[in-house]
Structure 1
Amino acid sequence: MEEGGRHVVPHDEAFKKLLQTFFAEFIALFFPELDRLLDHSRTRLLMQELLVDVVGQESRSLDLLVETRYKSLDAFILVHIEPQSYRQSDFHERMFIYFSRLFEKYRKTYPIIIPIAIFSADDVREEQNTLTMTIPEQDILYFHFFKVELRRQDWRRFITSDNPVAAALLAKMGYNKKEEREVRAAYLRMILRLQNNLDEARMALIMSVADLYFKLDMKRDEEILRAISEENPQEGEQIMKLMPAWSRAGYEEGIKEGIEKGIEQGIEQGIEQGFQQGAEKGKETGKTMERKLIIQKFLGKGFSPEQLAETLEIPVDEIRELGKQ
């Protein structure tokens, strides 16, 4: 997919959908002081704003533009959120240009415009979030935007949180190779807690985003699941219901032939439905009942038999038959 001359990967679309769905939770997680100033009951997404970027000499749409109410002013304001997944030396200039375009168009409508950047690149570094212009006698310009640098976040601060954004982005936070298993286990426990408060579509969205960052390691995941099951058998059973790909791959029977993960074509439709996760490869002996329940759930969410057949590599006639049952 191309947008404004740059290639947009599924990661960008998934990240955008996460922020659209959990805007209030994102603000509360990373900007609690700002969160207390906003009335999220009066929040709505605005249509994508097409802006001319004079730095890159291209037109592009902003990733996320939200209207929300600022309590003390009793007025609506704009919040612009821009995810940035790669290094770009002039990014701070771009943020100023986007802010300027928004100010030019909306200055009589919204008294405040809040720009926020989310940096998710793998390298850890201090991202510039100011733009200044001065002469010896006078400061001409000082522009400052909010920022979140995911790799500079301590993942341990978030593992007790019931915030869905924390769970979705835990794998992008700062940890070393030795901590990978611990991070994965913490993520799974967060998912277990969240399932009591969120519907299946939102849970699927969270897990789909997280799976873009976690490296699949069946042996490690089996060990984690076994430990969770031993501590609390009910939790282990719930994990299996949430992660049908593992179950279909034969986790219970020790089958380790692996699974292939993918997000179905038509990424916008897939994200909107909460993302169909995983295309499984492996033996499914004795799994007919589980397969039926999984297929019926996704058919109930609006996926067509043809989409499920292509994604799960199951004949479409079998999909229809199991759906009827």
Structure 2
Amino acid sequence: MSEITANYDEPWKEAIGEYFDYFLDFFFLDVYNLIDWSKKPVSLDKELQKITADSNDSKRLVDKLFKVWLKDNQEVWILVHIEVQSQYDIDFNERMFIYHYRAFDLYRKPVISLAILGDEKEKWRPSNYGYDLGGCQLNLNFPTIKLLDYQEKWSELEANLNPFAMMIMAHLKTKATISNLTQREQWKWLFIRSLYEKGYSKLEIVKLFKFIDLMMSLPKELQQSLNLKIIKYEEERKMPLISPFEQMAMEKGIQQNLQNNIVSILQKRFEVIPSELIDKINNINDIQELQKLLLETISVNSIADFESLV
């Protein structure tokens, strides 16, 4: 089984969207301290699509864009890049600059670009882009976090209740078990069990359970073995009401209903829908995004217009 089995992109993107304040508090404390958290950050997914729309880059790069307000009431944008590739990327610095400029150009707001590097290349630490030519100078410095550095801080991660401590541990052990999936199952079981033991609320257990489960993908046999361990553990602890399994099943049902409704309404309005568009809709796992798309089906003028939203 190859590394493609692992799913880094979706868990990181969803975790940052769910826990943006925790994300900045853990990785970029200086930025966290600038923000007025009494005003809720706004996720700018549609704006981000405009920034990255013509990118032909096939590398796995996760991006999130937020609008926040600083303590001096200044409105700024925070552009987060998560690079999960395991090899050196010569174009990363340039891409950081291009996306930074496009984010600024879109609404002429100050932009803070941040980078998380989840690769395995110890010496690859991009942090700036620029040139000096003919008297013309350009330079962009951007803060970078290297997840590999946390291998030496493992005991601190285990004791830290910030959700991103768990995300880092799951990421590093997923990378470390590419060729040993039995060991990955063991680490996954350890992480899931620790969610209960650390005293997280039921809701937090469900959320973090989902991120770990998505990232640390396993073949069917090992996943079934893990499921039995979790079910037995939940029974022994007499977990109340809805377990993570039940919660995920409910979310899956909601997700499928939304996908079916989107396709049905589009078929009713436009009769013929390209199979590629149906596949794209069925591959969307974010319930909030599906809810937004469902509303768009009512007013969108054409299939082409709807495809530009997906």
Percent of residue pairs identical: 19
Shift of residue 91, structure 1, vs aligned partner: 1.0
Residue identity in the other structure for 2:104: F
- Output the TM-score relative to the length of structure 2: 0.59
Shift of residue 194, structure 1, vs aligned partner: 6.3
- Match for residue 121 of structure 1 among 119, 122, 129: 119
* SS, match of residue 36 in structure 2: strand
Paired residue for 1:40?
37
In structure 2, runs of 5+ residues without a counterpart are 1-5, 247-254, 260-281, 289-310
Shift of residue 204, structure 1, vs aligned partner: 3.5
Residue identity in the other structure for 1:101: R
Return closer, same or farther for 1:70/1:193 CA change in 2, 3 Å cut-off.
farther
CA distance in 1, matches of 2:55, 2:91: 8
CA distance in 1, matches of 2:14, 2:46: 13
CA distance in 1, matches of 2:67, 2:224: 45
Shift of residue 57, structure 1, vs aligned partner: 8.8
In structure 1, runs of 5+ residues without a counterpart are 1-8, 246-262, 274-325
Paired residue for 2:298?
none
CA distance in 2, matches of 1:195, 1:272: 27
Q: Judge conservation of contact 1:79–1:115 (CA < 8 Å) in 2.
A: yes
Shift of residue 191, structure 1, vs aligned partner: 1.2
CA distance in 2, matches of 1:244, 1:53: 36
- Output the TM-score relative to the length of structure 1: 0.56
Deviations 1:95-135 (A, max 9, x none): 1011111222333xx3x311112222355442312113135
CA distance in 2, matches of 1:100, 1:114: 11
Return closer, same or farther for 1:90/1:206 CA change in 2, 3 Å cut-off.
same
- Where in structure 2 are the equivalents of 1:122-201 lying within 5 Å? 122-134=120-132, 140-154=137-151, 155-173=154-172, 184=188, 187-192=191-196, 196-197=200-201, 199=203
The question of 1:29 aligning with 2:22 is answered no
CA distance in 1, matches of 2:148, 2:115: 14
- Where in structure 2 are the equivalents of 1:1-325 lying within 5 Å? 11-42=8-39, 43-49=41-47, 50-51=50-51, 56=56, 63-71=63-71, 73-86=72-85, 87=87, 88-107=89-108, 110=109, 112-134=110-132, 140-154=137-151, 155-173=154-172, 184=188, 187-192=191-196, 196-197=200-201, 199=203, 203-214=205-216, 216=218, 236-238=237-239, 242=243, 244=245, 266-268=282-284, 270-272=285-287
RMSD: 4.4
Paired residue for 1:253?
none
Return closer, same or farther for 1:235/1:144 CA change in 2, 3 Å cut-off.
farther
More moved, 151-160 vs 170-179:
170-179
CA distance in 1, matches of 2:106, 2:214: 36
* SS, match of residue 192 in structure 1: helix
Shift of residue 23, structure 1, vs aligned partner: 0.6
Query: Using CA pairs below 8 Å that are at least 6 residues apart, which structure has the higher relative contact order?
Result: 2
Return closer, same or farther for 1:33/1:46 CA change in 2, 3 Å cut-off.
same
